[in-house]
Amino acid sequence: MLLNKKEKIKKRFINGEVLLINKPLNWTSFQVVKKIKSILYQKLAIKKIKIGHSGTLDPLAEGLLVICSGKMTKIISEIQNYKKSYEATITLGATTPSFDLETPFNKMYCFDHVNEKLINETKKKFIGEIYQKPPIFSALKIKGKRLYEYARINKHVEIKSRKVNIYKFEIIKVKLPNIDFKIKCSKGTYVRSIANDFGENLGSGAYLSKLKRTEIGKFKLTQSKKIGEFEKYIDDQL
């Protein structure tokens, strides 16, 4: 039996597709997955489909989200192990409990002594195999609960340092209090922790003010579609 265009595309997504989506600012990764499901239902009448993503981006982060459908969800754990690249900004002069702007400032710091030479010297400490503590406001589980659940009730929990690998750390621009940089890192690296620890190593305080994921292994942000573009892509094929 010959399938019409709609049925062919529908079958393709049910069998399994890898989608590269440019997650917008202030969206959760879950909201993006939900929106993709909604588009597939509205445009292709797919009522039930397995869809997942291969690595959460915080609401205040934007950039590449790899979403898999159907049988391709089986490779999600493999994609999660790929190296990841980001463009980001560290802002000096304050810290926050979440290490980004998700929570208000909890302490202010002086950074008059900080210059480009000190920044580039400090950067060397963050290349190679390093140990970092995940932020208390994170989805990492300890004793069956996510860390942010402890944070919300102000309950102390011991967070152990974890080994991660930083393959590349490049300072792009310094215009204090902002430090723009690019970083390539291993699975499990919290760029928010990099920002917090970087400020501490500068003898100041810092938080992550911008974060954009540009690569996950072979997948690149330049190959991705914004949600509206993905919707148009489906329309154009019908």
Structure tokens at 220: 């690149």
Compute the residue count for the chain: 238
E strands present in the chain: 18-23, 51-53, 62-69, 84-92, 94-95, 107-108, 128-132, 141-142, 145-146, 162-175, 178-185, 206-216, 219-220
CA distance 109 to 104: 14
Q: Which residues are catalytic?
A: 58
Neighbours of 47 (CB within 10 A): 8
> How far is C-alpha 19 from the chain's CA centre?
16
Q: Are 100 and 208 in contact (CB under 8 A)?
A: yes
